[in-house]
Copies of this chain bind each other. A is one copy, B any other.
Amino acid sequence: MSTSTESYTDVLIIGAGPSGLAVAYWMARCGINARVVDKRGTKIFKGHADGLRGRTTELFDSMGIAHRVLQEADYAAQLMFWRPDENGKLKRAGHLQFSNSSSSPYKMAMLTQGRIERFILDAIKSSSDLEVERGVVAESLSYDASSENHSQKYPVTITLRTLSEEEATPYSYPGASEIPAELDDQPDEIQKRKHPVGTIETVRAKYLIGCDGAHSWTRKQLNIPFEGASTDHIWGVVDMIPITDFPDIRRPTSLDAESGHLLIIPREGNVVRLYVPLQEDEVSATFDRSTVTLDTIRDRVKKILSPFSFDFKICHWWTVYQVGRRLAQTVSKGRVYLAGDAVHTHSPKVGLGMNMSFQDGFNLGWKVALAVRGVAFPSILDTYASERHQLAQMLVDFDRRWSAFFLQQEQQQKQQEQDPDASSAPQDNSAAMAEVFRESELFTEGYASFYGPNSLVQKGSTAMAKHLVAGERFLPAMIRNQAGGRPSLTTRLLDSDGRFRIVLLAGDMRLKDQQSRISALCDKLTELLMRFTPPKSKLDSIIEIKTIHSAPWMEVELSDFPSIVHQFDEEQGWDYSKVWSDSECSWEPRCVGNAYETWGVDKSRGAVVALRPDQYIGWMGELEDVAGLTQYFEGILQEARPRSVL
């Protein structure tokens, strides 16, 4: 039955979870010859991760899918604390308001991973023919280091095997209901096999991206150590429809009862996720997870929530896990890269996993794409390790600190079992939790990223844009289109299409002086763009200029701006999507004309900000600092038309 075949691809991605799909998205948008394989026979439809941080939704907006998240997810902006009062009765002990200081339009969204993957898959489909090949497993890897410096060579050789439906069906814990049809709007995809079952395909690839999870096969082939340990904490997690009179079942809640801890995460529709430590079982290195049943979890939650009633009849998904806190020693070898859980594992309670994984892939994908296309120097790929490995370390550290609160509770409980005279109420650590939470919020929400300095991030003066930081995100703001007046979030108009951007904060274009400054700058920008744009390509195909001025939008004209910033095309005419105004909009309450203020930019003088394709700030400067801007791009991009030719 088994046949074999051979093929070539520029980029092979193993694993179609959040990190693999993020990489695949970039391949699709940048037109890269790529493949994605996943050993599961279908996408996931239920369970797994469900917390979407504000920054991830911002990135989704740049991919055109944030509106689907907003339509379906539940949101919250507070964490409720419950603990027993002096009489041992469970009471609200306060709540923690999530920060509003991030200037993000998005709050924590709670939606099942399967839907989020659907949105990314749809974004991939809308810009390419790239499809996830499901039911395909990688079986051998060889790497020819001698060819890795030749951009046209294929150092990676890998064999893939097409699995049978049985092999491609992962284990699922018994007791969960059938997938409700409405949980996804697309059928299973196992039918779409490229090859018959058993086919062995030898694939030669320029780059291999291992997004194959905590037990990463790719990582093991590379012999990259996965450092850390499994803790002795066993948790149950269940997605169900609660039947309860507990008042905060639809609010994110951290509850410390005398009989244990419970974390409640409300979700889309009427689903609620619960995390519960299963410490009444004998927890040890040899703990047999298969002894846990759905009823173990149900009974545990009943006991913790008592005297409130609790039960469920509909369970979408459940699992049992042992917290492993591990970090891969490196994230790459040669042209093989790891992303997502293959690099870092930690407790899911933090609600960061899917976000970190997605953002790993989002950081890596465009770099690979631009290197493959010969647009950028392959050396930019070195920044992946420095940018993401440090964050992975922070993630594992944060998880350790955060989980300690739950651990304290457990320890206190064990003490109490040994010494029944000890205080029966769990210690109130909500204040301490709040402090750690506050401290870490910018990190956990994904707003702080700590990138650079490196070839893609030049740290320097921030005098011209006091609230922006090179290596951080471009703070979202709502602005109005100059030509038509339509309001939009910056996250939407900074499309994730693989282009670098020069955000020209043009200041007040009603002023003659400012017009002269902009005119002088644009002459030089034209020259700069030409150097990096391949002949016969549009001048905005590698670096796009987006202009945001600070005058009221009805008081200036598009024609006040040099033509380079609203580029003319023989077929498409002037480009009306490029010039925007920091003006308020009477019919959009979120559009208040405070973008320059948000960025800390002088409304009359303006500034220039260079954004990477992932919308992180690479460089900032005054309108006159073309030399600095040029130097920034010279360190990243291959020259398409050397200066001497111009």
Contacts and interface: CB of A to CB of B under 8 A. Distances in A.
A455 to B, nearest CB: 35
Contacts of A483: 249-251
A323 interface: no
Contacts of A250: 481, 483-484, 576
A312 B244 CA distance: 63
A643 B288 CA distance: 59
Instruction: Give this chain's copy count.
Output: 2
A524 to B, nearest CB: 25
Given A483-B249, A485-B78, A485-B251, A270 B576 contact: yes
Contact of A313 (B313, B484, B571): B571
A496 to B, nearest CB: 15
Interface string A58-80: 00000010011011001111100
A103 to B, nearest CB: 11
Nearest to A70: B67
Contact of A243 (B74, B107, B270, B573): B573
A266 interface: yes
B247 A587 contact: no
Interface in A249-263: 249-251
Interface string A253-286: 0000000000000100010000000000000000
B484 A76 contact: yes
Contacts of A76: 484-486
Nearest to A313: B571
A492 to B, nearest CB: 9
Given A247-B558, A484-B266, A485-B77, A572 B67 contact: no
A571 B315 CA distance: 10
Interface string A308-331: 000011100000000000000000
A344 to B, nearest CB: 29
A174 interface: no
A68 B77 CA distance: 25
Contacts of A312: 573
A76 B587 CA distance: 10
Nearest to A73: B486
Given A100-B587, A250-B576, A74 B557 contact: no
A166 interface: no
Contacts of A390: none
Interface string A606-634: 00000000000000000000000000000
Contacts of A247: 557-559
A440 B328 CA distance: 67
Interface in A82-127: 97-98, 100, 107, 126
Interface string A561-579: 0000000001111111100
Nearest to A481: B250
Contacts of A538: none
A570 B266 CA distance: 19
A590 interface: yes
A78 B247 CA distance: 47
A242 interface: yes
B484 A573 contact: no
A555 interface: no
A185 interface: yes
A642 interface: no
Contact of A486 (B75, B126, B185, B574): B75
A245 interface: yes
A559 to B, nearest CB: 7
A589 interface: yes
Nearest to A185: B126
A586 interface: yes
A442 interface: no
A448 interface: no
A456 to B, nearest CB: 30
Given A67-B67, A247-B557, A313-B570, A74 B484 contact: yes
A241 interface: yes
Contacts of A107: 587
Contacts of A77: 485, 585-587
Interface string A446-486: 00000000000000000000000000000000000101111
Contacts of A100: 586-587
A503 B68 CA distance: 28
Interface string A523-555: 000000000000000000000000000000000
Contact of A314 (B64, B98, B571, B576): B571
Interface of A: 64, 67-68, 70-71, 74-78, 97-98, 100, 107, 126, 182, 185, 241-245, 247, 249-251, 266, 270, 312-314, 481, 483-486, 557-559, 570-577, 585-587, 589-590
24 contacts: A75-B486, A76-B485, A76-B486, A77-B485, A77-B585, A77-B586, A77-B587, A97-B586, A98-B587, A107-B587, A243-B571, A243-B572, A243-B573, A243-B574, A245-B559, A247-B557, A250-B484, A250-B576, A266-B484, A270-B572, A312-B573, A313-B571, A589-B589, A589-B590
Shortest 5 CB-CB distances between A and B: which pairs?
A250-B484, A250-B483, A243-B573, A67-B71, A67-B67
Given A98-B587, A241-B573, 9 more contacts: A67-B71, A77-B586, A78-B485, A126-B185, A243-B571, A247-B558, A266-B484, A270-B576, A312-B573
